[in-house]
Amino acid sequence: GAGVSQTPSNKVTEKGKYVELRCDPISGHTALYWYRQSLGQGPEFLIYFQGTGAADDSGLPNDRFFAVRPEGSVSTLKIQRTERGDSAVYLCASSLEVRSSGANVLTFGAGSRLTVL
Amino acid sequence: SQQGEEDPQALSIQEGENATMNCSYKTSINNLQWYRQNSGRGLVHLILIRSNEREKHSGRLRVTLDTSKKSSSLLITASRAADTASYFCATPSGSSNTGKLIFGQGTTLQVKP
């Protein structure tokens, strides 16, 4: 697609429920990133994929969070047993490649706003 | 943990004035990027400056990088109401081969018409 697409744009759920957030990156982009952003804060790194594999998942806060990218394109962020503290905007981004220089320019989606009641 | 820290946290200016935002970081880097975020939207890449560059321009944007002080600044000249947004610096984390990009807390800029 022309840009990074995230669905749903808004999700309201109850504490303890399971949630899936989907990201469709720019076609041909090999790297895909998930960030979490709370109000008034900068994006907090969660995980990034290089192709199908998670290259760095050091930002996932605990084992309730899991992400997959089975075919190297679309990714799903899964949150089990949601807690009120999980409420945030979840941002997805993609980049054409991961450069050895670290000069990776990210293209972001509009985000999925998650509210846990 | 955040690598970059921006200041000020918030900035309010009149249209036509210049806006300067600063970013400090902790570890050695190969490059530094600036992104912009309009309210309720995703981030948009503005400019990337490499560690061997001291200054870079793009339209009304001017970015400087001082690796000895581990700091960068973003200057927006002749600001417009449409420049109202949050601005974030971002740096690679850890080794140079990583794709992981760490963002600062951001500066919220308000440009009054």
pLDDT the model gives residue B2: 47
Q: How far apart are CA A111 and CA A35, in angstroms?
A: 9
* A108 CB within 8 Å of a chain B CB: yes
pLDDT digits (tens, 9 = 90+) for B56-92: 999 999 999 999 999 999 999 999 999 999 999 999 8
Q: In this complex, do B96 and A56 lie within 8 Å of one another by their Cβ atoms?
A: no
B-facing residues of A in 59-88 (CB < 8 A) are none
A-facing residues of B in 29-68 (CB < 8 A) are 29-31, 33, 35, 40-45, 48, 50
Please list every residue in chain A whose beta carbon sits closer than 8 Å to the beta carbon of residue B101: 33, 45, 104, 106
Q: How far apart are CA B6 and CA B9, in angstroms?
A: 7
Phi, psi of B8 (to 5 degrees): -75, 170
C-beta neighbour count of A81 within 10 angstroms: 12
pLDDT the model gives residue B100: 84
Q: Average pLDDT of each block of 10 consecutive residues along chain A (117 residues)?
A: 91 98 96 95 94 92 96 97 97 86 87 97
Give the E-state strand segments of chain B in sequence order: 4-7, 10-14, 19-25, 31-37, 43-50, 55-58, 61-66, 71-76, 85-92, 101-103, 107-112
Q: In this complex, do A102 and B104 lie within 8 Å of one another by their Cβ atoms?
A: no
Q: How far apart are CA B44 and CA A108, in angstroms?
A: 7
Q: Is the peptide bond before B8 cis (omega within 30 degrees of 0)?
A: yes
Q: A5-99+107-116: which CATH number, 1.10.3720.10, 2.60.40.10, 1.10.357.140, 3.30.2130.10?
A: 2.60.40.10
pLDDT the model gives residue B1: 42
The CATH homologous superfamily to which domain B4-112 belongs is Immunoglobulins (2.60.40.10)
Domain limits, chain B: 4-112
* A26 CB within 8 Å of a chain B CB: no
Residue B72, C-beta contacts closer than 8 angstroms, at least 6 positions apart: B22, B23, B25, B32, B34, B49, B63, B64, B65, B66, B89
Unique residue bearing structure tokens 């905007």: A89
